[in-house]
Amino acid sequence: MKIDPRAIISSKAEIDKGVEIGPYSIIGDDVFIGKDTVIGAHVVIEGPAKIGERNKIYQFVSIGTPPQDLTYHGEETTVIIGNDNVIREFVTINRGSTKENWKTVIGNGNYLMAYAHVAHDCCLGDNIVMANLATLGGHVAVGDHAIISAFVAVHQFVRIGTYAFVGAKCGVDRDIPPFMLASVDETGPRAKLFGINTVGLRRQGFSRDVIEGLKRAYKIIWRENKNLKKAIEQVRNELEPFQELELLIEFLSTSRRGIIR
């Protein structure tokens, strides 16, 4: 364990072996830091918070601060962060509110670039990339391997599916299904679908058959001007089932905010 003497560590914090903490960082009450996590200078972590192993947290990051929610009145909510995450300069991660499950959750292997913001009650999976100044409103859910580009603003309660790619400078006010590519066009900053995230899926090792099957489903659902229920029925009738297709259909069938088009 290597803790700079200028850091301020609460006696109620629990620091595991191999942790490094830089100068002027503040670790509050009821914070757990897992082994081999490296925390830079001027980082603030407020508890209750649990941070896993081998994370790299750069200078001026803020984790576990109260939710930016006018109905919050000091209740003991929390933030939970998994293992092997990289959290770059000036990232802000708020703890949960009392409106859902009282916690903000970030999984494993994620890369949050400078100035990204994760609001209260968000739930992030694994191996996600949030580029500079990407902003998630409260209660946003992001699936594994999603990429959210710079200057993207995501409305509260929106879901972004696994392996989705969101282009820069988007406003996202409805759900983005898994395996899709969303971006802006000349009509304005609101995110729209532009088909399957083909390049991303190829890089992740998806087979040609899976990609082609998802393309066929996309054409039926989004390009034939059917209502969603009838489009899903047609997909089930015309395509042989496969795991990724079932995941897509499940996502579409459970949307509360609606799906971008």
Domain ranges of the chain: 2-139, 202-253
**Angle at 125 (CA atoms; ends 16, 252), nearest 5 degrees:** 165
Q: Mean pLDDT throughout 142-166? A: 98
Q: Which residues contact 140 (CB under 8 A, 6 or more apart)?
A: 119, 122, 123, 154, 155, 156, 157, 158, 159, 160
Closest among 217, 228, 224, 174 to 195, alpha carbons compared? 217
- Percent of the chain at pLDDT above 90? 94
120 counts as catalytic: yes
Name the pLDDT band for 107 (thresholds 50, 70, 90).
very high
**Among residues 34, 121, 143, 161, which one is catalytic?**
121
**Among residues 40, 96, 125, 138, which one is catalytic?**
138
40 counts as catalytic: no
Position 226 pLDDT exceeds 90: no
Q: Mean pLDDT throughout 187-216? A: 96
pTM reported for the whole predicted model: 0.95
- The better pLDDT of the pair 226, 196 is held by 196
Fold of 2-139: UDP N-Acetylglucosamine Acyltransferase; domain 1 (2.160.10)
Cα-to-chain-centroid distance, residue 108: 11
Fold of 202-253: Udp N-acetylglucosamine O-acyltransferase; Domain 2 (1.20.1180)
| Residue at token pair 């659902």 | 221
**Among residues 120, 161, 200, 213, which one is catalytic?**
120
84 counts as catalytic: no
